[in-house]
Chains A and B, each alone.
Chain A
Amino acid sequence: MTIVVAYKWAPNPQDAAVRSDGTVDFTRAKSTISEYDPVAFELARRVADSTGAQVVGVTVGDASIDTSLARKAALSRGLDRLVIVADDRLAGADSTRIAAVLATVVRWIGDVDLVLAGESSVDVTEGQVAMTLAGQLGWLGLNAVSSVSASDGGYAIERDVPSGTVSMVVTGPAVLAASADAVLPRVPGMKDILGAAKKPVEVLSLDTLDVPSAQVTLTTVSTSRPAAGNRHRVIIDGSDPTAAAAELVGALRAAKVL
């Protein structure tokens, strides 16, 4: 039995800069495992530890995602092995294309009955890859997953929805997108990091994978920041705290905030 963790090697948002037009500049950011993916690693490891399954990490992207550091970063988070598709033809690929390649890799790995992923990537933040992957595989897809554990013949899953928490049991293969606060991922220690270099890595060529050709081309025409809103620019003299507090409350009431 195999559990796949689909993750992204993405720019670190701590290194990002905000341009004057409000857009985010990631060009100088170092890459790291996308911020929302460690949750998926942790859930996968916990399920695998209880079932004896193998955890395989899968990532696809341009050539820059395959570095020694990137491999060890992933393998130090509880993976048993790693599969990478690194090809510059995937640079800037849309979520459907990414999902198509991931689906092909999942089929290539074989004997996979669970795929876990983060809720979205930290840089693109579309939140579509996991569910598109489920569709590509013809599997059940669930997002907002807060808990998953092995159950008789399948998995027990909890999802946080606006009305509360839904508990369900799933039989058959599924793709689950974990919510960002589903679980607190463990921090890789020295032993995990040193052991990472010894774990197997397979790099697959995009040309050898039978990925269906893209049916649609996607071109981003423009981006714009949200409307700035109507700033009142009220400055209150704070030298008299009591009077300042009263004035602040009055201003907030006038703005219908309170």
Chain B
Amino acid sequence: MDFGLTDEHELLLDSLRELLERECPESYIAELDRTHQAPMSFRRALHEAGFASLGFPEEYGGTPCDAVTLMLLTERVAQQGLNNGYGMELLQAMDILEFGSEDQKAEILGLLATGDVPFALGFTEPGAGSDNSAMTTTAVHHDGIVTFNGTKTLITNALDAKYLLVMAKSSDRGDDSRSAISMYLVPMDAPGVSTNPLEKIVWYTNDSCEIFLDDVTVPETCLVGVRGNGFRQLMRNLDLERLVIAATCLGLAQCAFDDAATYATQRVQFGKPIGSFQLIQLKLTDMAIKLENMRNFVYKTSWMVDQGIPLRSQGALCKRYVAMAAFEVADEAMQIFGGIGVNAQTRVSRLWRDLRGHRFGGGTDEIMVHIAGRQILREHR
């Protein structure tokens, strides 16, 4: 079993390292975090260097890429200390590239090309988080137009996005099931769309908003894919989303670990570096074990995707374990830093906050149990 990187992996990571040094140093990330800004210039640099179109089909100007390579890049960007810095745009684009009309594809790819955020995913509602079939946002089709009414919440990147990928229930379906859900690409500047930014303690480089849809009326061409098939369309890329989140968590955790291990060699107390104390060494050892486990989990799952092996519960297991273990690593890293760790200017405090968010972003720890648990039982009947 060869765990080594190919020449192409090494060269690609080397190129990414160069790009990160130039365009995404820690001072840049810290300033974005402090001012709650998105990494727009870095996104543009990623696109200009060709990284942003990796994984897209060639006919849309992309370079086909396997999941292992994509996760290596996602991990490396996160290891720089930047949360959600790579991979999310690919996921967004795939939803449209697979199910959208040619006009929708052209529009979304054009926005990606300029480093813009093409759309925010309008899924979660105040009464529909993990229980997404409980959503109440409606989409009424009439006379070639669609009218939306409802409220979405905790929508990431809503302030920067040009569109909202609205998941809504078509009114004439008459039932509450997921088969009533359709997917629509709605301009954020359409009359009736309003946003309310939410003040949160995680993910300062990604805004989160409430979005209110009050009689928002747009042409029926905003439908993405097949009416009533919205939930199934969204699920198509969910395993990939979980993998990207896991790779992000892995990178952030590695960053926290490296900072803590370095600090342990430098911080002197009682006349010795604190790294010489066994309790600190115990923490570092257990953190290293978790990182190794996380890495194996992420890349085994990526390999399964590349081999076409059905993931079944693997994606959910991976996301649950990695999100939780990564936060534990960051928490121990903060403990090693002691009082300095809770200083808002330290990187470890940012990593700790950002990793906490991944325990519910993209599916909570608990919903991953729900997904994986049922699958495990099915396999053992």
Using C-beta atoms within 8 Å of the partner chain, give the interface range for chain B: 10 to 19
Residues of chain B contacted by A73 (CB below 8 angstroms):
11, 14
From B14, B22, B65, give the contact of A190 (CB < 8 A): B65
Given A187-B49, A189-B50, A194-B63, A72 and B18 touching (CB < 8 A)? no
Given A187-B15, A187-B18, A194-B63, A72 and B7 touching (CB < 8 A)? yes
Residues of chain B contacted by A190 (CB below 8 angstroms):
12, 50-51, 54, 63, 65
Docked complex Cα distance between A188 and B16 (Å): 9
Interface residue? A76 (CB, 8 A):
yes
From A32, A187, A193, give the contact of B8 (CB < 8 A): A193
Interface residue? A69 (CB, 8 A):
yes
* B315 to A: closest C-beta gap in Å: 25
The residue in chain A whose Cβ has the minimal distance to the Cβ of B18 is: A187
Residues of chain A contacted by B286 (CB below 8 angstroms):
none
On whether the beta carbons of A193 and B11 are closer than 8 Å, the reply is yes
* A91 to B: closest C-beta gap in Å: 23
Interface residue? A107 (CB, 8 A):
no
Residues of chain B contacted by A193 (CB below 8 angstroms):
8, 11-12, 15
Interface residue? A225 (CB, 8 A):
no
Interface residue? A191 (CB, 8 A):
yes
Residues of chain B contacted by A223 (CB below 8 angstroms):
none
* A125 to B: closest C-beta gap in Å: 21
Kindly supply a per-residue 1/0 record for chain B positions 9-21, scoring 1 wherever the CB is within 8 Å of any chain A CB and 0 otherwise: 0111011101100
Docked complex Cα distance between A68 and B10 (Å): 11
The majority secondary structure among interface residues of chain A is helix
On whether the beta carbons of A32 and B14 are closer than 8 Å, the reply is yes
On whether the beta carbons of A69 and B10 are closer than 8 Å, the reply is yes
Q: Which of B10, B14, B16 has the most CB of A within 10 A?
A: B14
Docked complex Cα distance between A8 and B83 (Å): 36
Docked complex Cα distance between A187 and B16 (Å): 8
Residues of chain A contacted by B10 (CB below 8 angstroms):
69
The majority secondary structure among interface residues of chain B is helix
Docked complex Cα distance between A246 and B4 (Å): 56
On whether the beta carbons of B49 and A69 are closer than 8 Å, the reply is no
* A209 to B: closest C-beta gap in Å: 28
On whether the beta carbons of B63 and A191 are closer than 8 Å, the reply is yes
* B137 to A: closest C-beta gap in Å: 39
Given A190-B54, A191-B50, A191-B63, A76 and B18 touching (CB < 8 A)? no
Kindly supply a per-residue 1/0 record for chain B positions 30-51, scoring 1 wherever the CB is within 8 Å of any chain A CB and 0 otherwise: 0000000000000000000111
Docked complex Cα distance between A196 and B12 (Å): 12
Residues of chain A contacted by B14 (CB below 8 angstroms):
32, 73
On whether the beta carbons of B11 and A187 are closer than 8 Å, the reply is no
Docked complex Cα distance between A73 and B15 (Å): 10
Given A187-B49, A189-B51, A194 and B8 touching (CB < 8 A)? yes
The residue in chain B whose Cβ has the minimal distance to the Cβ of A12 is: B14
* B62 to A: closest C-beta gap in Å: 10
Question: Which residues of B in the span 29-88 have a Cβ within 8 Å of any Cβ on A?
Answer: 49-51, 54, 63, 65
Docked complex Cα distance between A23 and B91 (Å): 49
Kindly supply a per-residue 1/0 record for chain A positions 39-68, scoring 1 wherever the CB is within 8 Å of any chain B CB and 0 otherwise: 000000000000000000000000000001
Question: Which residues of A in the span 188-228 have a Cβ within 8 Å of any Cβ on B?
Answer: 188-194, 196
Question: Which residues of A in the span 156-209 have a Cβ within 8 Å of any Cβ on B?
Answer: 184, 186-194, 196
Given A190-B65, A191-B63, A72 and B49 touching (CB < 8 A)? no
On whether the beta carbons of B11 and A76 are closer than 8 Å, the reply is yes
Docked complex Cα distance between A193 and B14 (Å): 11
* B57 to A: closest C-beta gap in Å: 14
The residue in chain B whose Cβ has the minimal distance to the Cβ of A186 is: B49
The residue in chain A whose Cβ has the minimal distance to the Cβ of B14 is: A32
Q: 10 A-B Cβ contacts within 8 A?
A: A184-B22, A188-B15, A189-B49, A189-B50, A189-B63, A190-B54, A191-B63, A192-B50, A193-B15, A196-B11
Closest 9 CB pairs of A and B: A189-B50, A69-B7, A187-B15, A193-B11, A190-B63, A188-B15, A187-B49, A187-B19, A187-B18
Q: Measuring CB to CB, which residues of chain A are less than 8 angstroms from any residue of chain B? A: 32, 68-69, 72-73, 76, 184, 186-194, 196
